[in-house]
């Protein structure tokens, strides 16, 4: 299936027929981003999903995102074009592992990244995304111990920003972002003096980015640790000629649209999320024709998880 004008017209016609809104994450392929009614980061898309007037949400993203939309809107139909679109980070902790960790720290507050299963969210006090993780932890009584999961690099960023050493961090990672390492970033920054650095906090190189700033190799105000939505806002505000981008490569499409005059260069051009790329033009067409794959979350789990997700969408930006 070619994502041509005929395909686009058919997608929009079928979406209208189903009373469906199409959401796409910033890591989807350009054709999927361009056909969606809304493109954004995890937090922005959760908020759009929660407020949607349509009876059906078609989530062009990965499974935990569609599941989060279903938790927020249990009466809506939530479709994902390919239910096999998982997430290595969400797979890095199970509900059983979290239950055991909690039993070792019974008085702690559990903060889970939105990249988790519904079963993990059901054992969580507050969810967060990369754009509000620091605000979420800062909203918790400083005397309470926090269990932060599952991403170790985002956890390290939160500890740095809040200055709290009572935030315990799970050792999980996203295989795509972990592979964007400090050596690659240092080499690219050396080859492009003057470039700004946009770094997603899930990256293995997030700490190295801050070291470059501390050592003066890159001026501190040119190093920005941002969610994918934060990168789009920063691109609009940036007067830079070149920006080095440390995140999944799908991000470059929205950045170029936001600031066509800037040269955006991926720090690692192999950093492509295989799960996000399962949402092909053919898969989206099939989803709208067949009404599949439908996302179901067991009502008891959804009920237990809802509070933590609602707290997430209420905090920060």
Question: Which stretches of the chain bind ligand 13P, using CB under 6 A?
Answer: 26, 41-43, 115, 129-131, 174, 202, 227-228
Q: Please, what is the minimum distance in Å from the beta carbon of residue 218 to ligand 13P? A: 22
Sheet holding 126-128, edge to edge: 126-128, 109-113, 146-149, 167-169
245 is an interface residue for ligand SF4 by CB under 6 A: no
The interface partner of residue 129, options being ligand 13P, ligand SF4, none and the CB cut-off 5 to 8 Å by kind, is: ligand 13P
For residues 27 and 42, the answer to whether their CB atoms sit within 8 Å is no
Residue 67: contacted member of ligand SF4, ligand 13P, none (CB under 5 to 8 Å, by partner type): none
Taking alpha carbons only, the member of 313, 303, 317, 283 closest to residue 22 is 283
- 5 vs 220: CA distance, rounded Å: 45
Specify the stretch interacting with ligand SF4 by CB under 6 A; choose among 32-40, 141-149, 181-189, 268-276. Answer: 268-276
Q: How far is it, in rounded angstroms, from Cα 185 to Cα 159? A: 22
Kindly indicate which of the ranges 136-144, 174-182, 228-236, 237-245 contains the residues binding ligand SF4, using the contact rule CB under 6 A: 174-182
Question: Where in 19-78 is the site for ligand SF4 (CB under 6 A)?
Answer: 62
Q: CA 114, CA 103: separation in Å to the nearest integer? A: 22
List CB contacts of 19: < 8 A, sequence separation 6 or more. 54, 55, 56
Which residue among 11, 276, 302, 313 contacts ligand SF4 (CB under 6 A)?
276
Q: Please enumerate in sequence order all residues whose Cβ is within 8 A of that of 67, keeping only pairs 6 or more positions apart, or say none.
A: 78, 117, 118, 295, 297
Q: Considering the rule CB under 6 A, would residue 205 count as an interface residue with ligand SF4? A: no
**Least separation in angstroms between CB 115 and ligand SF4:** 5
CB nearer ligand SF4, residue 111 or residue 176: 176
């Amino acid at each position: 299936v070619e994502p041509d004008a005929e395909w686009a017209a058919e997608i929009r016609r079928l979406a209208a027929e189903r009373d469906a809104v199409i959401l796409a994450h910033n890591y989807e392929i350009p054709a999927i981003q361009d056909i969606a009614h809304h493109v954004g980061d995890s937090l922005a898309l959760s908020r759009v999903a929660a407020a949607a007037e349509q009876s059906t949400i078609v989530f062009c993203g990965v499974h935990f995102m569609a599941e989060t939309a279903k938790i927020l809107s249990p009466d809506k139909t939530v479709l994902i074009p390919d239910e096999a679109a998982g997430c290595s980070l969400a797979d890095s902790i199970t509900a059983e592992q979290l239950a055991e960790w909690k039993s070792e720290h019974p008085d702690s507050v559990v903060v889970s990244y939105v990249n988790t299963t519904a079963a993990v969210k059901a054992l969580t006090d507050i969810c967060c995304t990369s754009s509000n993780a620091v605000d979420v932890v800062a909203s918790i009584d400083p005397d309470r111990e926090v269990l932060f999961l599952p991403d170790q690099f985002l956890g390290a960023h939160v500890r740095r920003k809040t200055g709290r050493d009572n935030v315990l961090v799970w050792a999980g990672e996203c295989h795509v972002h972990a592979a964007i390492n400090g050596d690659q970033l240092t080499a690219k920054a050396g080859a492009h003096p003057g470039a700004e650095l946009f770094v997603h906090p899930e990256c293995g190189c997030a700490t190295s980015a801050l070291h470059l700033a501390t050592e003066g190799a890159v001026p501190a105000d040119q190093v920005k640790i941002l969610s994918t939505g934060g990168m789009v806002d920063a691109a609009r505000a940036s007067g830079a000629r070149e920006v080095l981008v440390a995140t999944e490569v799908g991000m470059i499409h929205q950045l170029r649209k936001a600031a066509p005059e800037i040269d955006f260069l991926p720090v690692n051009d192999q950093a492509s999320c295989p799960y996000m790329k399962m949402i092909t033009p053919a898969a989206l067409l099939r989803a709208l024709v067949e009404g599949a794959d439908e996302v179901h979350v067991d009502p008891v789990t959804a009920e237990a998880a809802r509070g933590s997700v609602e707290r997430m969408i209420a905090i920060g930006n």
